[in-house]
Structure 1
Amino acid sequence: MIAETVCSAVSAAGLGIALITAYRKRFLTATRIAAYALVPIALVMTGAVEWLAGTAFSPTAWAGFGLLGLSWVLFMTTRAVERRRGGTRQERKERKQQRRAAGAPAQPGTVAPTAPAPSLGSGSRPAARPAAAPKSDDDFSDIEAILKKHGI
């Protein structure tokens, strides 16, 4: 009974705010406020509020929600462990058998001892840079002249 009264009061207040907003010529905002204000009274009329109030004060319902939360935590934990290990036991076993059949190394990051060195090919090398001119004392003399000119 109290929940229905509160929802009715919230709807009435929301419709009052919508009227004030419409008076200020903000019709789109007023319409949106009115739509939100009608939701609580609609929930009262459909009986959803009575059902929610009965559920909110039921210890059995809270125990059920607790069990749902616990099952979700357990499910997420198993998924995280499964991802860390690399799949289920059957999936890991199948991948191991495929690697053995293909002659691949046992660990995914290892390299076979007979593997050839990677080839870069002729087109993948950058063009040769021109050789840098040897630095001489002339470069430093120019710098010294500039510094003397500025009094440094």
Structure 2
Amino acid sequence: MLAETICSAVSAAGLGIAAVTAWRKRFLAATRIAAYSLVPIALVLTGVVDWVAGIAFKPTVWLGFGLLAVAWLLFATTRAIERRNGGTRKERRAAARAAQGEAVAPAASAPSLGAGLADSRPRPGTKSPQRSVAPAEDFSDIEAILKKHGI
């Protein structure tokens, strides 16, 4: 009963503030205030206030919230430990297997080992690709800008 009285008083006060705001020719703000002030009385009429009051004063409900908090803490703790140790056991095993196995294409990395540098001449019977010679880079415009700024 006390909760319903408080909600009714809050709604009445909000509607009074909305009336004063409308009297000052601020109709949009007054409408918004009136909408907010109708929410508490609507919650009383729909029974939400009784439901919340019933939940708030039951020890079993608080025990349930406590257990939810403990479960959340356990999840968060295990997640933090997993991150610190480098992932789950399954992820570590997969990474170890990938590191032990051979490369998918071992010959693919041969040019990066330097074998291609020794023989840069085209082989007989193969058509050499036409290499376009890059024009010398022209930095004259950059030099002009730098000189203009005294650098």
Aligned-partner Cα distance in 2 for 1:102–1:94: 14
Post-superposition offset of 1:35? 1.1
Q: 2:55 matched to which residue of 1?
A: 55
TM-score, normalised relative to structure 1? 0.65
Gaps in structure 2 of 5+ consecutive residues: 104-111, 114-151
1:3 aligns with 2:3: yes
Structure 1 residues 97 and 27, CA gap change in structure 2 (3 angstroms): same
Q: 2:65 matched to which residue of 1?
A: 65
Aligned residues: 107
Q: 1:29 matched to which residue of 2?
A: 29
Aligned-partner Cα distance in 1 for 2:7–2:40: 5
Gaps in structure 1 of 5+ consecutive residues: 104-114, 117-152
Structure 1 residues 21 and 91, CA gap change in structure 2 (3 angstroms): same
Aligned-partner Cα distance in 2 for 1:12–1:64: 36
Aligned-partner Cα distance in 2 for 1:102–1:90: 20
Give me the identity figure in percent: 66
TM-score, normalised relative to structure 2? 0.66
Aligned-partner Cα distance in 1 for 2:8–2:102: 72
SS of the equivalent of 1:87 reads coil
1:38-71 deviations in whole A, cap 9, x for unaligned?
A: 1111110110000000111111111111111111
SS of the equivalent of 1:25 reads coil
1:49-95 deviations in whole A, cap 9, x for unaligned?
A: 00000111111111111111111111111111112222211111111
Aligned-partner Cα distance in 2 for 1:8–1:34: 13
Structure 1 residues 102 and 34, CA gap change in structure 2 (3 angstroms): farther
Aligned-partner Cα distance in 2 for 1:70–1:97: 36
Post-superposition offset of 1:102? 3.7
